[in-house]
């Protein structure tokens, strides 16, 4: 079902991206100099579709990194809870074995 939804959403998005890329092939000047627009220090020409796609990709990466950093406390809490659960599970097994051994000794004495 997830694969179907992925194709159902991904295919139209791919078509839209391809159509926008074909329609916006003309180069635009991209400049890092907001003061001197006549002769900027650092500028280059890039196709508009490529500029848009790179901007979206950078936005996705920055947003994902921001979310990952903000969720670090929850990942740490989950890691600590897993560690504690593992310790408690091993302690529980050890106690069960002791109870089982003492029950066997009690049965052996009573027999």
Query: Tens of pLDDT along 88-102?
Result: 999 999 999 998 888
Task: Give the residues across from 104 on adjacent strands.
Answer: none
Same domain, 12 and 55: yes
User: Lowest-confidence range among 40-44, 69-73, 106-110?
Assistant: 106-110
For residues 38 and 63, membership in a common domain is answered with: yes
- Judge if 7 and 56 occupy the same domain: yes
> What's residue 111's pLDDT?
65
Q: Which pLDDT tens digit goes with each residue over 11-65?
A: 888 898 888 888 888 998 888 888 877 778 888 899 998 998 899 999 999 999 9
Spatial CA neighbour of 42 closest among 51, 32, 34, 52: 32
Under the phi-then-psi rule, with left for phi > 0, alpha for psi from -120 to 50, and beta for the rest, what region is 43? beta
pTM for the whole structure:
0.62
List the structure tokens of 47.
């196709």
- Residue 31 forms beta bridges with which residues? 43
In whole angstroms, give the CA distance from residue 26 to residue 66. 33
Question: How many domains would you assign to the chain?
Answer: 2
Q: 22 and 65: one domain?
A: yes
């Amino acid at each position: 079902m997830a694969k179907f939804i992925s194709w159902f959403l991904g295919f139209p998005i791919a078509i839209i991206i391809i159509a926008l890329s074909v329609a916006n092939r003309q180069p635009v000047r991209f400049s890092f100099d907001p003061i001197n627009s006549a002769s900027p220090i650092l500028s280059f020409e890039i196709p508009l579709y490529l500029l848009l796609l790179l901007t979206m990709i950078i936005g996705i990466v920055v947003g994902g990194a921001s979310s990952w950093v903000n969720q670090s406390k929850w990942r740490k809490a989950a890691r600590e809870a897993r560690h504690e659960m593992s310790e408690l599970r091993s302690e529980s097994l050890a106690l069960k074995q002791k109870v089982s051994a003492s029950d066997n000794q009690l049965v052996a004495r009573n027999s």
